[in-house]
Structure 1
Amino acid sequence: MQKRWTIKQTDNEEKIKQLAAGLGIDSVLSTLLLNRGVQTFDEAKYFFRPLMEHLHDPFLMADMEKAIDRIDRAIDNNEKILIYGDYDVDGTTSVALVYSFFHKRYKNLEYYIPDRYLEGYGISTKGIDYAAQNDFKLIIALDCGIKSVDKIAYANTLDVDFIICDHHLPADELPAAVALLDPKRPQCDYPYKELSGCGIGFKLIQAYAQKHDIDFEEITCYLDLVAISIACDIVHITGENRVLAHYGLQQINTNPCIGVKALMSVAGKTVPYSISDIVFLIGPRINAAGRIDDAKHAVELLIACHEDDAKAKGILINIKNQERKEHDLTITGDALNMIDNDEILIGRKSTVVYNEGWHKGVIGIVASRLTEKYYRPTIVLTRSNGHVAGSARSVRGFDLYEALCGCSDLLIQFGGHKYAAGLTMMPENVDAFAQRFEEVVSATIPPELLIPEIPIDAELELKQIDPKFFRILQQFAPFGPENMSPVFLTRSVYVKGQAGLVGGQHIKMTIDQPGSPMFDCIAFGQAEHLDNINNGLPFEICYSIEENVWREKRSIQLNIKGIRSPL
């Protein structure tokens, strides 16, 4: 598939030189810093050396005082407390964190995870009824609730109080909860707005610990869960999240909780773990519990106190993840056949596919795979509880949520954000919706957004990649949204010897550039370039730089993102 290469522009050459001189680094590295908003020596020190003292005072968050006061009153009066969270990674890690912290100090509490298929996302009437019928006076809702105006009003009629800990954008009307902890809500002056749901949960226990003179070390042991939520919920890894992710990764790689340790064991990878490892190895296994069976299994694993229990739960979740993979493979194959054998679907600027027998728990994953394959806004639909439910994914730069707003009269409900959403409709509306969605996308998407983009941070000569350069580059981690692993462009490189294929579709080669050392490279899924790069002519590459470990030998390897002939 054709890809467009776009090089980020940094206009202030003088600032680049000043920062490079002040830090004693290559100008390419100072360019990377400026593109990340780092402009001074002190800001660079903050960026490269995250410290716990960089965390903000939790009481800067609106309603935090109210939340802690209500928890204190519940504990003083021996009221039952219910820790309520969503069924995805962010929700289950949030519940595990808050439940584990308070359960060490107060036993009259339980946790509740709504059923993905029977209750759906967020606060459910069934969950509120369960609380009322079992005499819970306080619900602490995590990673959900900021838009649950009607549900919180219903809870209030049953004398069930809510503390909402959410990180999503609120609607115009806020729910009438005892406390609303959400940095994105109006009149909240909290300095950092991009915390994960579990990050909000961490600020809650940080505030409680601060008020009750509990040692800070007694909450930092939960940072492995926070790092997992940051990685898997794809929030920005900037500011406070960068600090939390940095120390959370340290916790994962040195002293993870028993449940996380069990997940790492079944994932089959030894330390060190990166943000990417969490996304691809830990997150899918936690999610699989709720996609295939019951997300409570994930919480049970993450709060486990005994290694035997954690090991058993880890094995169970791994089995569920294998089932998820099988569903994923089957449904993706069905969808690809459906599209490739339909001239109308092939020619569209959007993809909408429907099969009433597809497993609802994996349609979001399938939507992501189809978006990657055809690179256009994609919706995968299946039958669920008498309705048709769908998961939607978008391409870089296109606002999927706005497109769904243009189809809202055909939907029962929908929600999400620019790049991912969920929706529900009546079965008889499927065809009309597919047609309308195509019309909306065709009318609003610029043609260039239908071509995959490779954002390039800077141009580089291979001779600049020396041990000091790579050592500093590694300190840009942890990588993630708003701080992605840098991608570089190098022109006029040659294959040393012959490039070859591994795994049938991946190119493995050694490249050379006059006056530079040679570098080993891997280019995943780019077999179509093999003949062109083996013809002895120069070509251009864009790539990230990584460390390759083979039989305990470490070397710098270039991970090729794109190959093209000179322009």
Structure 2
Amino acid sequence: MSLPELLESYSPSFLALLEKRGLAEPAARRRFLAPDLNNLYDPFLMAGMESACLRLKQAKERGESVFVHGDYDVDGITGAAILARTFELFGLKAKIFLPERGRDGYGVSEEAVVEAAQNGFKLLVTVDCGVTARRQIEAAAVHGMQTIILDHHRIPADGLPPACAILNPQREDCQYPFKELSAGGLAFKLAQALLGEEALKFLDLTAISTVCDVAPLTDENRILVRHGLLKLGADSSCGLKALSRVSGIRTRSFNTGHLGFMIGPRINAAGRMSSPDTALRLLLTENEREAESLARALDEENKSRQQEERVMVQEALSEAERTFHFNRDRVVVVARRGWHPGIVGIVAARLVDKYHRPAVVIALKDGVGKGSGRSIKGFHLFNAMGAAKEHLSEFGGHELAAGLSIQEEKVADFRQAMNDFARENVAADIFVKKTKHELEISLGALTEVFLAELALLEPYGAGNPRPVFKSTGLQVRGAARKKTPRAFQFLVTDGRVTYEASWNSDNTRAPEWMADRQKLDLFYTVKTFSLSGMEMATLEVKEALPL
């Protein structure tokens, strides 16, 4: 069935699903299911955009060079790459600075800013940082340097720093219709304002930024990511092509999984393990030989990161079991000397997956801790850290992810303050993992038409997850087998239709509910794949309830 036909006529199951997602009106459905670049918002609706463009035009007219300060994660690196290419096309010279975790710490480096001013730079542009950097921005001003800030993080309680332009949709005075752009998304909007349609060549970088920073894939982000994925498959840079090859991507049909689990971690690995400059050079190079070399280097960095991560996860789990009281505490806070500060965010995410509790992991060295936290839906991590800020040297972030610096002797008090905040401000049931389904359907409802309709919901990600279905009265058929070291495969039937199902588990033995002829209710998502030219489906089980 063609897209136009699907847009006019849906199956009853798909209509019910769309209504559950707030897409009952035809116009809203059409905008969501067929993301159109013509529906991108005017960048000049954003507060500060006119001032930013005016100052950049002045810099061009005066022959000034711009000092761009990015960040060491995927969002900060891709945002800096977008700005570098934008300024080049606009006719501005720019020097890109990306901080190193160990050397420069979290946020804007005052030392780097002052040094840039002393070297004659008159204009600082920050991306993925700056909104909480009042001291650093004031230092830049003292040295005769003006600042443009591109930062999507929460506005601090003490207000905005003294910059000549601040692009942040979170500003109270910003009327921009969409508030959830990543830093790379903000860089794209500035590129739009300066270059017009020429900015569309940065959609691939914008998509990587958006997905890897876990921004919600709704509204404008959905448009940017859908078309960014298409660009990655059709016309991406030689650097991204090389990175895709070393990542093992063998298709031109990119999805968010490719970005979040294959491309993104390799870009991140440079900032985690050594210098983010390696990743930036890859994103900017036009030399295929250099691209191949840099992509291989990032792949090796990622392998080192994975090895160190495995060790740290086990140590963090042991530390959590020792310090976390499951009946009393709500937030996991673990700290240890010798941990790599570039990996603490990944380890925090693993703890969240394990315990379904917000988690903060802190690497200690010489009495100072560098930490990163991840959260669960319903627990605002940035707000919680704000309540515990008396114990922190600095912090920043948003609802589901945040970073911090802390003195080692204050870790215990910080742990207590975070848990006090959780007990006093957040309902206890938030911390109980529950599988919620959007639709109860029969296996027979998973028709070819319905599967084609589900594909229209992509790209999946934060804010637009794969739908979870519930089917009741099913029966396991045959023996389960270990498909991969982390997944079991088995067959399930309702007596009329049989589907292959998978269950993620590190265990070597299948659970009892997976026994032949066991009756059960299943909660699952559906993934499709091509086999001999036919579209097939498998059920990815989230929870099983034996009957």
**TM-score (structure 1 length as normaliser):** 0.89
Alpha-carbon distance change, 529 to 402 in structure 1, aligned in 2, over 3 angstroms: farther
Pairwise CA distance, 1:35: 2.9
Among candidates 105, 122, 147, match of residue 132 of structure 2: 147
Deviation by residue 1:190-221 (Cα, 9 ceiling, x = unmatched): 111111111111111111123xxxxx2x3212
Q: Distance in 2 between matches of 1:79 and 1:505?
A: 55
2:122 counterpart SS class: strand
Name the structure 2 match of 1:121: 106
Alpha-carbon distance change, 97 to 408 in structure 1, aligned in 2, over 3 angstroms: closer
Deviation by residue 1:124-153 (Cα, 9 ceiling, x = unmatched): 211211221221111221122122222222
Among candidates 41, 53, 67, match of residue 26 of structure 2: 41
Q: Distance in 1 between matches of 2:248 and 2:317?
A: 30
Pairwise CA distance, 1:354: 2.0
Q: Distance in 1 between matches of 2:51 and 2:288?
A: 37
2:86–2:195: 8 Å Cα contact kept in structure 1?
no
Name the structure 2 match of 1:52: 37
Name the structure 2 match of 1:97: 82
Q: Distance in 2 between matches of 1:185 and 1:426?
A: 31
Q: Distance in 2 between matches of 1:411 and 1:123?
A: 17
Are 2:181 and 1:201 aligned? Answer: no
2:307 counterpart SS class: helix
Deviation by residue 1:421-446 (Cα, 9 ceiling, x = unmatched): 22222222233433444454455554
Name the structure 2 match of 1:290: 271
2:342 counterpart SS class: helix
2:487–2:502: 8 Å Cα contact kept in structure 1?
yes
Name the structure 2 match of 1:565: 546
1:494–1:533: 8 Å Cα contact kept in structure 2?
no
RMSD: 2.3
Deviation by residue 1:320-361 (Cα, 9 ceiling, x = unmatched): 111111111111122223344x38656653433221111111
Q: Distance in 2 between matches of 1:220 and 1:385?
A: 46
Alpha-carbon distance change, 166 to 439 in structure 1, aligned in 2, over 3 angstroms: closer
Among candidates 204, 229, 237, match of residue 249 of structure 1: 229
2:403 counterpart SS class: strand
Among candidates 204, 214, 220, match of residue 224 of structure 1: 204
Name the structure 2 match of 1:5: none
Pairwise CA distance, 1:57: 1.1
Deviation by residue 1:301-329 (Cα, 9 ceiling, x = unmatched): 10011111111111111111111111111
| Counterpart residue identity of residue 43, structure 1 | A
Alpha-carbon distance change, 21 to 229 in structure 1, aligned in 2, over 3 angstroms: closer
Alpha-carbon distance change, 74 to 552 in structure 1, aligned in 2, over 3 angstroms: same
Q: Distance in 1 between matches of 2:164 and 2:308?
A: 42
Name the structure 1 match of 2:156: 171
Are 2:219 and 1:239 aligned? Answer: yes
Q: Distance in 2 between matches of 1:435 and 1:51?
A: 48
Pairwise CA distance, 1:164: 1.2
2:22 counterpart SS class: coil
Among candidates 79, 87, 101, match of residue 64 of structure 2: 79
Among candidates 311, 314, 317, match of residue 295 of structure 2: 314
Q: Distance in 1 between matches of 2:176 and 2:11?
A: 35
| Counterpart residue identity of residue 347, structure 2 | V
1:507–1:526: 8 Å Cα contact kept in structure 2?
no
Written as runs of structure 1 = structure 2, the 5 A alignment for 1:395-434 is 395-434=376-415
Are 2:43 and 1:62 aligned? Answer: no
Q: Distance in 2 between matches of 1:468 and 1:167?
A: 39
1:360–1:384: 8 Å Cα contact kept in structure 2?
no
Deviation by residue 1:492-538 (Cα, 9 ceiling, x = unmatched): 111223333333552211221134x3211111118676432325242
2:471–2:523: 8 Å Cα contact kept in structure 1?
yes
2:65–2:94: 8 Å Cα contact kept in structure 1?
yes
| Counterpart residue identity of residue 30, structure 2 | K
Name the structure 1 match of 2:353: 372
Name the structure 2 match of 1:265: 245
Unmatched 5+ residue regions in structure 1? 1-19, 211-215
Pairwise CA distance, 1:42: 2.0
1:497 counterpart SS class: strand
Q: Distance in 2 between matches of 1:450 and 1:105?
A: 49
Pairwise CA distance, 1:477: 0.4
Among candidates 362, 371, 378, match of residue 381 of structure 1: 362
Alpha-carbon distance change, 408 to 148 in structure 1, aligned in 2, over 3 angstroms: closer
Alpha-carbon distance change, 134 to 473 in structure 1, aligned in 2, over 3 angstroms: same
Q: Distance in 1 between matches of 2:419 and 2:402?
A: 16
Pairwise CA distance, 1:366: 1.0
1:389–1:425: 8 Å Cα contact kept in structure 2?
yes
Structure 1 range deviating more: 247-256 or 547-556: 547-556
Name the structure 1 match of 2:141: 156
2:302 counterpart SS class: helix
Pairwise CA distance, 1:539: 0.6
| Counterpart residue identity of residue 449, structure 1 | I
Q: Distance in 1 between matches of 2:101 and 2:381?
A: 23
| Counterpart residue identity of residue 191, structure 2 | I
Alpha-carbon distance change, 109 to 360 in structure 1, aligned in 2, over 3 angstroms: same
1:90–1:198: 8 Å Cα contact kept in structure 2?
yes
1:372 counterpart SS class: helix
1:221 counterpart SS class: helix
Q: Distance in 2 between matches of 1:398 and 1:192?
A: 22
**TM-score (structure 2 length as normaliser):** 0.93
Alpha-carbon distance change, 549 to 130 in structure 1, aligned in 2, over 3 angstroms: farther
Structure 1 range deviating more: 30-39 or 294-303: 30-39
Q: Distance in 2 between matches of 1:22 and 1:141?
A: 42
Among candidates 526, 529, 542, match of residue 548 of structure 1: 529
| Counterpart residue identity of residue 110, structure 2 | T
Name the structure 2 match of 1:15: none
| Counterpart residue identity of residue 463, structure 2 | E
Are 2:139 and 1:132 aligned? Answer: no
Among candidates 426, 448, 459, match of residue 478 of structure 1: 459
1:117 counterpart SS class: helix
1:38–1:44: 8 Å Cα contact kept in structure 2?
yes
Name the structure 1 match of 2:371: 390
1:500–1:530: 8 Å Cα contact kept in structure 2?
no
| Counterpart residue identity of residue 238, structure 1 | T
| Counterpart residue identity of residue 50, structure 1 | P
2:495 counterpart SS class: coil
1:87 counterpart SS class: coil
| Counterpart residue identity of residue 95, structure 1 | A
Are 2:13 and 1:28 aligned? Answer: yes
1:146–1:170: 8 Å Cα contact kept in structure 2?
yes
Give aligned-pair identity as a percent. Answer: 32
Alpha-carbon distance change, 323 to 538 in structure 1, aligned in 2, over 3 angstroms: same
1:359–1:382: 8 Å Cα contact kept in structure 2?
yes
Structure 1 range deviating more: 143-152 or 225-234: 143-152
Pairwise CA distance, 1:38: 1.7
Q: Distance in 1 between matches of 2:460 and 2:423?
A: 34
Name the structure 2 match of 1:355: 336
Q: Distance in 2 between matches of 1:83 and 1:417?
A: 23
Alpha-carbon distance change, 338 to 73 in structure 1, aligned in 2, over 3 angstroms: closer
Q: Distance in 2 between matches of 1:164 and 1:402?
A: 22
1:499 counterpart SS class: strand
Q: Distance in 2 between matches of 1:21 and 1:274?
A: 21
Structure 1 range deviating more: 145-154 or 477-486: 145-154
| Counterpart residue identity of residue 190, structure 1 | Y
